[in-house]
C-alpha cells in the first residue's frame, strides 16, 4: 500500500500572479481545514482536557483551580463503586467477547453452505443489526421481567434478572451478546466463504473429517477476521453504558455499574469532573491495553493467506 | 452411492432445521416485542403468559403510545440529526480524501495520520468534556449540538481515499487542462464515478447516527428535542411500568429501521464489512 499517491499539480497555465500562487499552495490545507478543525475540537482537545482534568482540582463549572498530582487517581482507586465498576466491566467484556465469538462462529459455519431455507435463516441471523440499542434494551427489560416477561415462564425458571443483584449482570450480558450477533456473523461468514474451495475439496479427498477441516484449515485461515472481531467487540464491550442506563441505572446495589456508566454519573450527574476524567483515562488505557494484547497474540497465531 | 446421497440430503436437512431453530431463538426478542404490542394490559399481566396475542387488530396500545409521546416530532429530530451528521461528515471526508489523493503538499502524512488517529480515541470516553464544550457553545437542545460530534469520519475518509486512488489519473489531468476547478471536478466527475461507495458510506453512517443514544441523551433536556432512540426510553417510569405501551412504542420505531434494513441491506452489509477491512 502506497501512502503518497502520485499527485498532479495544477500548474497555473494562465495566471501566475502572486495571489494564484499563494492559493495553489494553501488550497490543500484549506480543504483539510474542516475535518482537522472538528477533529481537534471534538476528539483531541477533549482527550487532552480529560488528561489534564485527571491531574487537577476542577470545580463544578469545569474550571481548573489547582494541581492535584495523583490525588484524583488515589481517590478513585479507593472509591468503592470504582472497583465494582472495573470488575463488572472486565467480566462483562470477557464474557461478551467470548460468547459472541463462539455463537457467531457457529451461525457462520451453519450458514456457510447454501441449503434449503438458507435464505430465511441467513436473514434471521443478521436481524439483530436492524434493531437499535435502545429498542432492544426496552424489549429485554420487558422480556426478562419476572412477572410479565416470557423467558422465566418459557424456561420454567424463577430468576429475578434485572431485579436481582446476582443475575442483573447476566441480563446485560445477554443483551450485549445479542447486539453483536448480526455483524460478527456477517464478518465470519464472508471470511469463511473467502476460503478457496480447492483447499476444502483437497482435504476432503485426503479423508479429513468435519472437525479436522475446521481446526486445521478453516480456523487458521479466518484468524485475521477473528482478531478484528475480538478487538472491536472488546472496545465496544468496554464502552457498555446504554443498556445499563436504560434498564438498571447501575443497580441493583451497583451490580451492573460499568466504567462508562460510572463516568457518566460522576461527570454529568455529580459534576465531579476530575473523577470522571480519571475513570475515562483508565477506561481508555484498559481498552488500549486489551487491543494491544490482542495484537501480541496476533503475531503468534494469526495466519495471513 | 444412493445411500450416501440420501444420508447427505438428510444431514443437510438436519442442519437446516437446526439453523432455523437457532435463527428463531435469535429473532425471538424482536418477535416478543412486536407481538406484545398487540396485547391489552390485562392480557399482558395474565398468567400463564401467552406469546401470541388474541387479536392483531387491537391497536389501542399504538394509539395510546402516539398520544403519550410526540413520536413524529422524535422522528423528525432523528432525521435531522442523522441527516445533518451524515451529510457534513461525508462532505468533510470527501474533501480530505480528494486532497490526499490528488495533491502533494508538506505535512501530508502528518495530517493523514492526525485524522486516522481520531479512530483510536473512543467517543464514549470523551462525552463529559465534549458536553462541557457543547454547553459552552450554547448548543444544548439543538440539532447541531447533537450532530456536531459526528462530523469527523476517519473511516469514511480512509475508504473514500482508497476508492479515489483507483480512479484513472487522466481524468484529473484532462479536467485540469480544460480549466475545470477542483470543486467542479469533484462534483461533476469524481463523485458520480464513486457513487456506489459514497452511497454505502451514507447509508451506514445514517443508520449509526439514527441509532445513537448516549450523546443525544446528554445534550437534550427538552422533550420536543429528543430523538426516537432517547424518546422511547421515557415511556416507562419507575412508578408507571406500562409495558404494553413500551412495546407499542418500540414496534413503531422499529418500522423505519426495518424498512431501511430491508431496502438497504446490501449497502449496509457491504459498508460494514468494507469498514472492517480498514481496521
Sign (positive or negative) of CA dihedral A276, A282, A283, A288: positive
The pLDDT tens digits for A87-112 are 999 999 999 999 999 999 999 998 88
Q: A119 with A53, same domain? A: no
* Secondary structure (DSSP) of A215-244: IIIIHHHHHHHHHHHHHHHHHHHHT--HHI
The answer to the question of residue B60 being in a domain is no
Of A40, A57, A73, the residue at which a domain comes to its end is A73
Residues 6+ apart with CB under 8 A from B61: B37, B38, B39, B40, B244, B245, B247, B248
Whether A285 contacts chain B with CB within 8 A: no
Q: A56 with A101, same domain? A: no
ipTM of the complex: 0.85
Contact A9 B133 (CB under 8 A): no
The answer to the question of residue A257 being in a domain is yes
Provide the pLDDT for residue A1. 40
CB B209 within 8 A of CB B219: no
Residue bearing cell 442523522: B82
| Average pLDDT, integer, range A244-266 | 89
Which among A231, A255, A248, A122 has a CA at the least distance from the CA of A175? A248
Whether A5 contacts chain B with CB within 8 A: yes
Burial of residue B4, with CB atoms counted within 10 A of its CB: 0-12 exposed, 13-18 middle, 19 or more buried: exposed
Which among A235, A219, A221, A213 has a CA at the least distance from the CA of A295? A235
The pLDDT tens digits for B144-202 are 999 999 999 998 999 899 888 888 777 777 887 777 778 888 888 888 888 888 888 88
Domain count, chain A: 2
Residues 6+ apart with CB under 8 A from A16: none
Q: State the first-to-last Cα distance of chain A, in angstroms, to the nearest integer.
A: 17
Contact B133 A137 (CB under 8 A): no
Q: A92 with A136, same domain? A: yes
* Secondary structure (DSSP) of B167-194: S-HHHHHHHHHTT--HHHHIIIIIHHHT
The answer to the question of residue A175 being in a domain is yes
The answer to the question of residue A13 being in a domain is no
The answer to the question of residue A86 being in a domain is yes
Q: A28 with A113, same domain? A: no
Domain count, chain B: 1
Contact B272 A25 (CB under 8 A): no
Q: A251 with A281, same domain? A: yes
Q: A134 with A226, same domain? A: yes
Question: In chain A, what residues touch B127 (CB-CB under 8 Å)?
Answer: 263-264, 267
Question: In chain A, what residues touch B103 (CB-CB under 8 Å)?
Answer: 7, 9, 27-28
Residue B49 pLDDT greater than 60, yes or no:
yes
Of A48, A73, A98, the residue at which a domain comes to its end is A73
Highest mean pLDDT among A236-250, B37-51, B167-181: A236-250
Grid coordinates in use for A167? 443475575
Which CATH number goes with the domain that contains A281? 1.10.3720.10
Residue A136 pLDDT greater than 90, yes or no:
yes
Q: By residue range, what is the domain housing residue A65?
A: 18-73
Cis ω on the peptide bond leading into residue B48 (within 30° of 0)? yes
Whether A296 contacts chain B with CB within 8 A: no
The answer to the question of residue B149 being in a domain is yes
In chain A, which residue's Cα lies nearest the Cα of B43?
A: A148
Grid coordinates in use for B259? 424498512
| Nearest by CB: B279 against A25, A145, A228 | A228
Question: In chain B, what residues touch A31 (CB-CB under 8 Å)?
Answer: 95-96, 98-99, 182
Rounded CA separation B251/B233 (Å) = 13
The answer to the question of residue B218 being in a domain is yes
| Average pLDDT, integer, range A173-197 | 90
Which CATH number goes with the domain that contains B170? 1.10.3720.10
Provide the pLDDT for residue A301. 65
Q: By residue range, what is the domain housing residue B164?
A: 72-234
Question: In chain A, what residues touch B260 (CB-CB under 8 Å)?
Answer: 130
Question: CA A163, A90, A225 angle in degrees (round to 5)?
Answer: 115
Residue bearing cell 490545507: A29
Of A55, A73, A91, the residue at which a domain comes to its end is A73
The answer to the question of residue A125 being in a domain is yes
Residue A2 pLDDT greater than 70, yes or no:
no
Question: In chain A, what residues touch B108 (CB-CB under 8 Å)?
Answer: 4, 28
Residues 6+ apart with CB under 8 A from B274: B159, B200
Contact B124 A260 (CB under 8 A): yes
Provide the pLDDT for residue A16. 55
* Secondary structure (DSSP) of A92-130: HHHHHHHHHHHHHHHHHHHHHS--TTHHHHHHHHHGGGG
Amino acid at each position: 500500500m502506497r501512502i503518497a499517491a502520485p499527485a498532479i499539480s495544477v500548474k497555473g497555465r494562465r495566471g501566475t500572479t502572486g495571489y494564484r500562487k499563494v492559493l495553489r499552495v494553501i488550497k490543500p490545507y484549506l480543504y483539510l481545514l474542516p475535518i482537522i478543525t472538528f477533529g481537534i475540537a471534538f476528539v483531541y482537545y477533549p482527550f487532552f482536557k480529560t488528561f489534564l482534568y485527571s491531574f487537577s482540582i476542577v470545580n463544578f463549572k469545569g474550571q481548573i483551580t489547582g494541581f492535584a498530582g495523583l490525588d484524583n487517581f488515589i481517590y478513585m482507586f479507593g472509591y468503592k463503586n470504582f472497583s465494582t465498576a472495573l470488575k463488572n466491566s472486565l467480566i462483562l467484556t470477557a464474557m461478551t467477547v467470548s460468547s459472541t465469538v463462539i455463537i457467531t462462529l457457529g451461525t457462520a459455519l451453519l450458514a456457510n453452505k447454501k441449503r434449503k431455507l438458507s435464505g430465511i435463516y441467513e436473514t434471521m441471523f443478521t436481524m439483530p443489526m436492524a434493531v437499535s440499542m435502545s429498542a432492544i434494551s426496552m424489549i429485554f427489560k420487558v422480556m426478562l421481567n419476572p412477572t410479565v416477561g416470557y423467558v422465566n415462564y418459557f424456561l420454567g425458571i424463577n430468576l429475578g434478572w434485572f431485579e436481582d443483584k446476582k443475575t442483573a449482570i447476566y441480563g446485560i450480558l445477554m443483551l450485549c451478546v445479542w447486539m453483536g450477533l448480526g455483524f460478527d456473523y456477517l464478518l465470519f461468514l464472508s471470511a469463511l466463504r473467502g476460503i478457496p474451495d480447492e483447499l476444502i475439496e483437497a482435504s476432503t479427498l485426503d479423508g479429513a473429517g468435519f472437525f479436522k477441516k475446521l481446526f486445521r484449515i478453516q480456523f487458521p485461515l479466518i484468524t485475521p477476521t477473528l482478531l478484528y472481531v475480538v478487538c472491536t467487540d472488546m472496545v465496544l464491550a468496554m464502552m457498555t453504558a446504554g443498556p445499563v442506563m436504560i434498564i438498571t441505572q447501575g443497580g441493583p446495589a451497583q451490580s451492573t455499574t460499568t466504567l462508562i456508566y460510572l463516568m457518566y454519573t460522576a461527570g454529568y450527574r455529580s459534576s465531579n469532573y476530575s473523577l470522571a476524567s480519571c475513570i475515562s483515562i483508565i477506561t481508555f488505557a484498559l481498552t488500549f491495553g486489551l487491543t494491544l494484547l490482542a495484537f501480541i497474540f496476533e503475531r503468534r497465531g494469526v495466519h495471513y493467506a | 452411492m444412493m445411500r450416501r446421497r440420501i444420508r447427505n440430503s438428510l444431514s443437510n436437512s438436519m442442519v437446516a432445521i437446526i439453523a432455523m431453530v437457532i435463527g428463531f431463538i435469535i429473532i425471538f426478542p424482536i418477535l416478543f416485542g412486536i407481538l406484545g404490542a398487540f396485547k391489552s394490559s390485562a392480557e399482558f399481566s395474565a398468567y400463564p403468559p401467552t406469546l401470541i396475542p388474541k387479536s392483531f387488530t387491537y391497536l389501542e396500545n399504538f394509539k395510546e403510545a402516539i398520544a403519550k409521546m410526540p413520536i413524529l416530532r422524535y422522528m423528525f429530530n432523528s432525521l435531522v440529526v442523522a441527516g445533518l451528521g451524515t451529510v457534513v461528515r461525508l462532505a468533510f471526508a470527501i474533501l480530505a480524501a480528494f486532497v490526499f489523493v490528488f495533491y502533494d503538499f508538506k505535512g501530508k502524512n502528518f495530517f493523514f495520520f492526525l485524522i486516522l488517529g481520531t479512530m483510536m480515541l473512543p467517543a464514549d470516553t470523551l462525552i463529559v468534556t465534549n458536553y462541557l464544550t457543547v454547553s459552552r457553545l450554547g448548543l444544548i437542545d439543538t440539532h447541531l449540538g447533537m450532530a456536531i460530534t459526528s462530523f469527523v469520519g476517519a473511516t469514511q475518509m480512509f475508504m473514500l481515499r482508497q476508492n479515489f486512488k483507483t480512479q484513472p489519473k487522466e481524468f484529473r489531468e484532462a479536467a485540469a487542462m480544460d480549466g475545470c476547478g477542483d470543486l467542479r471536478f469533484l462534483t461533476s466527475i469524481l463523485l458520480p464515478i464513486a457513487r456506489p461507495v459514497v452511497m454505502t458510506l451514507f447509508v451506514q453512517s445514517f443508520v449509526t447516527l439514527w441509532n445513537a443514544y448516549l450523546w443525544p441523551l446528554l445534550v437534550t433536556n427538552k422533550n420536543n428535542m429528543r430523538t426516537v432512540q432517547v424518546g422511547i426510553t421515557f415511556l416507562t417510569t419507575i412508578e408507571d411500568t406500562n409495558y404494553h405501551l413500551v412495546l407499542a412504542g418500540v414496534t413503531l420505531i422499529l418500522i423505519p429501521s426495518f424498512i431501511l434494513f430491508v431496502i438497504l441491506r446490501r449497502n449496509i452489509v457491504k459498508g460494514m464489512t468494507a469498514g472492517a477491512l480498514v481496521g
